[in-house]
Chain A
Amino acid sequence: MTGRARFAFTALAFGYAFLYLPIALVIVYSFNESRLVTVWAGFSTKWWEALMHNEAMLDAAWLSLRIALASATLATLLGLAAGYALDRVPRFTGRTLFASLVIAPMVMPEVVMGISMLLLFVGSDQLLGGPARGFLTITVAHVTFSLAFVAIVVQARLADFDRTLEEAAMDLGATPRTTFLTVTLPLIAPALVSGWLLAFTLSLDDLILTQFVSGAQSQTLPMRVYSSVRLGVDPQINVLATIVIAIAASALVLSAWLTRSSVDKRP
């Protein structure tokens, strides 16, 4: 038994090293005096200063943030509805179709989704004269695909949920609606927060879908990063990466802390 455990733990250590080595290098080189990743020329924060003054990047970051906030919130609401419907209603007309539609965006290649949504917006442009491609269209696109992730998280949490608590509430006089708001919702809240954070991250990071449905004026952060890295390694991108990693790490720690303290209380 120990031989096998040792092999597995070695694989785990190797896996972690594999996962974190590139990230570590990017962080280190964000402080590199030299432009090149191949040569270490001394510690410097000049690229950090450069990024802080990079108007284009900052604008793009702001846009991405706004889109992420909007799409995450809307996706969480719709995902909650979808996950709840799939868990609680065992049979309804079109259920199979519905279930497929909910989960398909999660695995479908983004290029397919991208081209299809662009066609939709082009079509609506022709027929209805709008909306212009930008904030709105990008948000709609993001909601569509992150909805799937939230629905999965919600469904998993509901499957684990102790229904007798809802029965107890109704026994004590609560209507189904009140029961949902005062019993179910508070108890699945951590899952909703996780779902929201997931949708937020996915939106912030999305490139392909965004590239298809954005307009000339709207450049999100990933789009800027992409056009920059196509030309090669860019130290400002290293700095950006470090910031993103730091934010992601703290968000994850926060999320883990939230879910851990609620797991103890979980029915």
Chain B
Amino acid sequence: MRLVIALPFLWLGVFFLLPLVLVLGLSLGTNAPDLAPPVELGVSFASFRLLFTDDLYLAAWLSSLRIAATSTLVTLLLGYPMAYAIARAQPRRRPMLLMLVVLPFWTSFLIRVYAWMGLLAENGILNQVLRATGLVADPGTILGTEWAVHLGIVYAYLPFMVLPLYVTLEKLDWSLLEAASDLGARPLAAFLTVTLPLSLPGIVAGCLLVFIPAVGEFVIPDLLGGTRTLMIGKVLWDEFFTNSDWPLASAVAICLLALLVGPILIFQRHQERSLERI
């Protein structure tokens, strides 16, 4: 049994924890473009200072959090009724309905984001439809704006919201809703006072599953957001690959980690508790 624990523990220790420690170490180093790797080890907080004082970086932090938060909210608003509908559907239809939600997830993430590029381009389908139906005279281009990034995040992460919501809603004792109705609650009141509170675990799980990775998203802002959209994942990438400033990129990673360690711990405890209840 000890081996069973030790093997994955060791693997994760070496390939997950240790690298993070290295990042921490590197973030305290200084940029040395002439060396290979381009780092001079030491203890310097210059990178961190830059991150917290430079307007550009601050703006990137804020916009990342903002975009991730709004996208998570929209995903919740769309995902909740979907999960509810599946949970209320006839039991024999549910597996198929779920599969239809999950199938896009099993298709390449990259390709799904790419698909939106065509849709949202200047002469893309969306604009063609808008112009043809006369809804909007001059739609402008959505591609290359924050709208596109929001759309992309909602699109890519929707299955991550629907699944945990469905799991929670499916376990709901529907006779509780009947009891609420029996006690005089109108449908909306019953939903707000019974269904919603009891589906909170699913909401928390879904939101964390979307928000945490969305903050550090790279592909979506890169392909759909254009130059005007600032997200911290992109900043990290650019610092590392374009500017070859490894300490700065490491500092970004550490800050991102620090920002998300709280939500990650919440998520982990939440997972444990939900499994206990089973």
Asked if A and B form a direct contact in the complex, defined as CB atoms under 8 angstroms apart, the reply is: yes
The residues of A with any CB-CB pair to B shorter than 8 Å are 1, 3-5, 7-9, 11-12, 14-16, 18-23, 25-26, 29, 36-38, 78-79, 81-82, 84-85, 87-89, 92, 94, 98-105, 107-113, 115-117, 119-120, 122-123, 126, 140-141, 143-144, 147, 151-152, 155-156, 159-160, 201, 204-205, 207-208, 212, 222, 225-226, 229-230, 232-233, 237, 240-241, 244-245, 248-249, 251-253, 256, 260
B interface bracket (residues with beta carbon within 8 Å of A) = 35 or more
B23 to A119, Cβ gap below 8 A? yes
A25 to B8, Cβ gap below 8 A? no
With beta carbons under 8 angstroms apart, the residue of B102, B115, B119, B216 that contacts A241 is: B115
- Closest Cβ of chain B to A44, distance in Å, is 17
The 8 A-B pairs at the shortest CB distance, nearest first, are namely A109-B216, A11-B81, A116-B19, A22-B115, A8-B85, A38-B123, A37-B118, A82-B8
A12 to B20, Cβ gap below 8 A? no
Q: A37-B125, A110-B216, A119-B23 are in contact. Are A26 and B118 (CB under 8 A)?
A: yes
B residues 3-40 touching A (CB-CB < 8 Å): 4-5, 7-9, 11-13, 15-20, 22-23, 26, 37
A229 to B275, Cβ gap below 8 A? no
Q: Measured between alpha carbons, how far is A5 from B23 in the docked complex, in Å?
A: 50
Q: Which residue in chain A gives the minimum CB-CB distance to B191?
A: A4
Q: Measured between alpha carbons, how far is A122 from B249 in the docked complex, in Å?
A: 15
A8 to B81, Cβ gap below 8 A? yes
Q: Which residue in chain B gives the minimum CB-CB distance to A74?
A: B11
B111 contacts the other chain (CB 8 A):
yes
Q: Which residue in chain B gives the minimum CB-CB distance to A100?
A: B268
A159 to B278, Cβ gap below 8 A? yes
8 contacts between A and B (CB under 8 A): A15-B162, A18-B158, A19-B100, A23-B107, A78-B8, A102-B12, A107-B267, A248-B108
Q: Measured between alpha carbons, how far is A152 from B275 in the docked complex, in Å?
A: 10
User: Which residues of A sit under 8 angstroms from B275, Cβ to Cβ?
Assistant: 87, 155-156, 159
Q: A12-B86, A20-B104, A241-B111 are in contact. Are A120 and B19 (CB under 8 A)?
A: yes
Q: Measured between alpha carbons, how far is A152 from B209 in the docked complex, in Å?
A: 13
Q: Measured between alpha carbons, how far is A155 from B264 in the docked complex, in Å?
A: 18
User: Which residues of A sit under 8 angstroms from B111, Cβ to Cβ?
Assistant: 26, 225, 237, 240-241, 244-245
B104 to A101, Cβ gap below 8 A? no
B202 contacts the other chain (CB 8 A):
no
Q: A38-B124, A119-B26 are in contact. Are A248 and B107 (CB under 8 A)?
A: yes
Q: Which residue in chain B gives the minimum CB-CB distance to A24?
A: B115
User: Which residues of A sit under 8 angstroms from B1, Cβ to Cβ?
Assistant: 85, 88-89
Q: Measured between alpha carbons, how far is A19 from B11 in the docked complex, in Å?
A: 36
User: Which residues of A sit under 8 angstroms from B114, Cβ to Cβ?
Assistant: 26, 225, 229, 233, 237, 241
Interface centre among B8, B11, B20 (most CB of A within 10 A): B8
- Closest Cβ of chain B to A185, distance in Å, is 13
Q: Of the 9-residue stretches B50-58, B132-140, B252-260, which lies at the interface with chain A?
A: B252-260
Q: Measured between alpha carbons, how far is A249 from B107 in the docked complex, in Å?
A: 8
Judged by DSSP, the binding face of B is helix
Q: A107-B208, A205-B109 are in contact. Are A78 and B37 (CB under 8 A)?
A: no
B155 to A18, Cβ gap below 8 A? yes
With beta carbons under 8 angstroms apart, the residue of A20, A109, A115 that contacts B240 is: A115
Q: A4-B191, A78-B8, A117-B19 are in contact. Are A226 and B110 (CB under 8 A)?
A: yes
- Closest Cβ of chain A to B156, distance in Å, is 10
A81 to B272, Cβ gap below 8 A? no
Q: A11-B78, A38-B123, A155-B275 are in contact. Are A78 and B11 (CB under 8 A)?
A: yes
User: Which residues of A sit under 8 angstroms from B84, Cβ to Cβ?
Assistant: 8
With beta carbons under 8 angstroms apart, the residue of A16, A108, A152, A229 that contacts B117 is: A229
- Closest Cβ of chain A to B23, distance in Å, is 5
B118 to A25, Cβ gap below 8 A? yes
A25 to B107, Cβ gap below 8 A? no
A252 to B103, Cβ gap below 8 A? yes
Q: A81-B8, A101-B12 are in contact. Are A111 and B82 (CB under 8 A)?
A: no
B121 contacts the other chain (CB 8 A):
yes
Q: Measured between alpha carbons, how far is A167 from B114 in the docked complex, in Å?
A: 52
User: Which residues of B sit under 8 angstroms from A126, Cβ to Cβ?
Assistant: 37
With beta carbons under 8 angstroms apart, the residue of A109, A225, A230 that contacts B260 is: A109
A207 to B237, Cβ gap below 8 A? no
User: Which residues of A sit under 8 angstroms from B249, Cβ to Cβ?
Assistant: 115
Q: A1-B187, A103-B268 are in contact. Are A233 and B118 (CB under 8 A)?
A: yes
Interface centre among B22, B217, B256 (most CB of A within 10 A): B22
Q: A109-B217, A225-B111, A229-B117 are in contact. Are A101 and B17 (CB under 8 A)?
A: yes
B223 to A19, Cβ gap below 8 A? no
- Closest Cβ of chain B to A191, distance in Å, is 14
Q: Which residue in chain A gives the minimum CB-CB distance to B78?
A: A15
User: Which residues of B sit under 8 angstroms from A18, Cβ to Cβ?
Assistant: 78, 155, 158
Q: Which residue in chain B gives the minimum CB-CB distance to A29?
A: B118
B215 to A109, Cβ gap below 8 A? yes
